[in-house]
Structure 1
Amino acid sequence: MSQVDYTLKGYERPQLTTPNGESKLLMHSCCAPCAGEIMEALAASDIETTIFFYNPNIHPTEEYELRKEENIRFAKKLGMSFVDADYDKDNWFDRTKGQEDEPERGERCTTCFDMRFEVTAQYAKDHGFDLISSTLGISRWKDMDQINDCGVRAAEPFEGVTYWDFNWRKKGGSSRMLELSKREEFYQQEYCGCVYSLRDANRWRASKGRNKVERGVKFYQEAKLKLAQQK
């Protein structure tokens, strides 16, 4: 039995279909590297998709703007509509108060996902979308069950709005995510997004004798060039 080639070059994308034949998808996006593979898959399947960028967890503001602009750049390339939602970071800090020392994948992350998906679901209801999903689950650093539980819970109060829990990691999705990020030369962020994840990343780096995270300077093109030089 021959092995399937799941690389960007070799993978023949299937035609995806929405769970119940929904006509429009509102896709919550966390960043261009996570979103790129998913956006390309949806475009190849002719699913009418609008990207919804609502991430008040990303700090500081300069980091937020850089991640957002990278996502806008790729949405324009694919001809996808893009919604630049409110950066209500004060609300995020209020919601996560008392959870500052929670670990990655802990209760703070649940609170964060709940907040972002609740706003996504409300926007979907107000603007005629019957299906929502998120790019968050493609990352191996995230707990997919945690993300999907939050998505389903956010959609439940809104009649006619469904959360699509498609597994974007499967069949090489996570690997293609990295391939596409290098191809598109996306900004390569080195922490999840919030000040607490940045703090914890720097603490871990210090314990390993490594330099602190440098924001706004690293792009996937650099990784691609280094790989080419090693061959």
Structure 2
Amino acid sequence: MLKIQTPNGENKVLLHSCCAPCSSAIIECLLENGIRPTIFYCNPNIYPQEEYEIRKNEAIRFVTSKNLDFIDADYDYAHWLHTIKGLENEPERGGRCLKCFILRLTETARYASEHGFTLFTTTLASSRWKSLEQINKAGEQAAALYPGTQFWKQNWRKGGLQDRRNELLKEYDFYNQQYCGCEFSMQMKKKSV
């Protein structure tokens, strides 16, 4: 298991979670290293709402199996659409993704600030389909809006976590989505098939 420690020495972290498959190995890693995550599920980008509910329920199933707290940030797809307006045709890793990350991580930082967390991080940094540079930029911008919070820039792709993710995917028989979640990535996925 990857050996990690928080950048500020805290033993708790608010973990923005995009889905159960991406979160599972990270949650295990945090627990193995004596760090207790509270899971913050903020994903208004997921489309349609039925997809959102499936992913949320899978995340709840795993989180409750570990006796951890799960926070549902609610589903506000209309707000997300308004936020990314004009960027609908951007490719993956383009401007739409950055705006999306900023929205979701700003909500995470806000929750952290209001609920006594000094540190937050995201499972988005586990996906090889996402730009770590964009994720870190979004996290740092979010933390800057809420003094007293810090974004933990952690590359969750390394240290065997991808292999463990795949093992847990089978072990828990997780629903494994085939697109990032937004309707525009789903449309692009369909066009490329």
TM bracket (short chain): over 0.9
Question: Offset of 1:130 from its aligned partner?
Answer: 0.4
Structure 1 residue identity aligned to 2:32: A
In structure 2, what is the equivalent of residue 69 of structure 1? 57
In structure 1, what is the equivalent of residue 95 of structure 2? 107
Structure 2 residue identity aligned to 1:171: G
Structure 1's unaligned 5+ residue stretches are 1-12, 206-231
Supply the distance in 2 between the matched residues of 1:170 and 1:49 (Cα, whole angstroms).
19
The correspondence of residues 148-227 of structure 1 with structure 2, limited to 5 A, is: 148-205=136-193
Q: Secondary structure at the match of 1:192?
A: coil
Question: Offset of 1:14 from its aligned partner?
Answer: 4.8
In structure 2, what is the equivalent of residue 35 of structure 1? 23
Q: Deviations over 1:155-197 (max 9, x none)?
A: 0121210000111111222222112211111101111100001
Question: Offset of 1:15 from its aligned partner?
Answer: 4.7
**Which has the higher relative contact order, 1 or 2, with Cα contacts under 8 A spaced 6 or more apart?**
2
In structure 2, what is the equivalent of residue 228 of structure 1? none
Supply the distance in 2 between the matched residues of 1:199 and 1:98 (Cα, whole angstroms).
16
TM-score (ref. length: structure 2): 0.97
Q: Deviations over 1:40-90 (max 9, x none)?
A: 111212212100000000000100000000000000111110001121111
In structure 2, what is the equivalent of residue 218 of structure 1? none
Structure 2 residue identity aligned to 1:145: E
| Greater C-alpha radius of gyration | 1
Structure 2 residue identity aligned to 1:67: R
Q: Does 1:121 align with 2:105?
A: no
In structure 1, what is the equivalent of residue 37 of structure 2? 49
Structure 2's unaligned 5+ residue stretches are none
Supply the distance in 2 between the matched residues of 1:39 and 1:102 (Cα, whole angstroms).
31
Supply the distance in 1 between the matched residues of 2:47 and 2:9 (Cα, whole angstroms).
37
In structure 1, what is the equivalent of residue 123 of structure 2? 135
Supply the distance in 2 between the matched residues of 1:70 and 1:80 (Cα, whole angstroms).
14
Range with bigger deviation, 108-117 or 181-190:
181-190
Supply the distance in 2 between the matched residues of 1:136 and 1:170 (Cα, whole angstroms).
13
| Runs of 4 or more consecutive aligned structure 1 residues displaced over 3 Å after TM superposition | none
Identity %: 49
Supply the distance in 1 between the matched residues of 2:11 and 2:27 (Cα, whole angstroms).
16
Q: 2:85 aligns with which of 94, 97, 115?
A: 97
Q: Does 1:144 align with 2:144?
A: no
What's the RMSD between the two structures over aligned residues? 1.0
Across the two proteins, how many residue pairs are aligned to each other? 193
Q: Secondary structure at the match of 2:145?
A: coil
Q: Secondary structure at the match of 1:69?
A: helix
Supply the distance in 2 between the matched residues of 1:129 and 1:24 (Cα, whole angstroms).
8
Structure 2 residue identity aligned to 1:202: K
Note if contact 1:121-1:154 (Cα within 8 Å) is conserved in structure 2. yes
Note if contact 1:23-1:130 (Cα within 8 Å) is conserved in structure 2. no
Q: Secondary structure at the match of 2:15?
A: strand
